[in-house]
Amino acid sequence: MRDQPPPSGLPLERTAGGPPFMTCCYFDHNATTPVAPEVLEAMLPLLAEDFGNASSIHHYGQRAKHHLETARRRLAALIHGDPNGIVFLSGATEADNLALFGLVRYAPGPDRHVVTTTIEHPAILAACDQLEREDVQVTRVPVGSSGVIDPGRIRQALRPGTVVVSVMHANNELGTVQPIAEIARIAHEAGVLFHSDGVQALGKIPVDVEALGVDLYSITGHKVYAPKGAGALWVRKGTPLGAIQFGGHQERDRRPGTENVAGAVAFGAAAAWLSVNAATEAARLAALRDRLESGMIAKVPGASVNCASAPRTPNTSSIAFEGINSEALGIALDLKGFAVSGGAACSSGAAQPSHVLTAIGLSPDASRSTVRFSLGRSNTAGQVDELIDAVAISVSRLRAIAPAGKVHA
Domains of the chain in sequence order: 25-35+279-401 (3.90.1150.10), 38-272 (3.40.640.10)
pLDDT for 16 equals 43
341: Cα within 13 Å, side-chain hemisphere: 26
- Any idea which of 19-33, 213-227, 315-329 has the lowest mean pLDDT? 19-33
pLDDT at residue 96 greater than cutoff 90: yes
Question: Does the CA dihedral 238-241-172-146 come out positive or negative?
Answer: negative
Give the pLDDT band (50/70/90) at residue 404. low
Which of 59 and 221 is assigned the larger pLDDT? 221
Cα–Cα distance measured from residue 192 to residue 287, given in angstroms and rounded to the nearest whole number: 39
Q: Which three-class secondary structure state does DSSP give residue 306?
A: coil
* Active site amino acids: 346
What is the Cα–Cα distance from 400 to 301, expressed in whole angstroms? Answer: 13
Which backbone phi and psi does 235 adopt, to 5 degrees?
A: -125, 120
Mean pLDDT to the nearest integer, 193-217 = 98
pLDDT score of 408 more than 70 = no
pLDDT mean over 16-24: 50
| pLDDT (0 to 100) of residue 353 | 85
Q: Residues 299-350: pLDDT tens digits? A: 999 999 999 999 999 999 999 999 999 999 999 999 999 999 986 544 444 5
What average pLDDT score do residues 231-250 get? Answer: 94
- What mean pLDDT comes out for the span 43-57? 88
> How far is C-alpha 314 from the geometric centre of its chain's CA atoms?
13
CA distance 254 to 244: 8
> For the whole model, what pTM was predicted?
0.91
**Cβ atoms of residues 315 and 284 within 8 Å:** no
What does the pLDDT average to over 391-397? 97
Q: Does residue 109 surpass a pLDDT of 90?
A: no
pLDDT number for residue 251: 85
**pLDDT one-digit tens code per residue, 173-196:** 999 999 999 999 999 999 999 999
Q: Check if the beta carbon of residue 29 is closer than 8 Å to that of residue 170.
A: no
Lowest mean pLDDT among 24-28, 168-172, 226-230, 394-398: 24-28
Which ranges of 49-147 does DSSP label H, i.e. alpha helix? 59-79, 92-104, 122-133
CA 268 vs. chain centroid, Å, equals 17
Mean predicted confidence (pLDDT) in 272-300 = 98
- In the three-class reduction of DSSP (H, G, I as helix; E, B as strand; rest coil), residue 124 is classed as helix
Mean of all residue pLDDT scores within the chain? 91
Element (H, E) at 400: helix 381-401
- Percent of the residues in the chain that have a pLDDT greater than 70, as a whole number: 90
Residue 148 — very low, low, confident or very high, per pLDDT cuts 50/70/90? Answer: very high
% of the chain at pLDDT higher than 90? 82
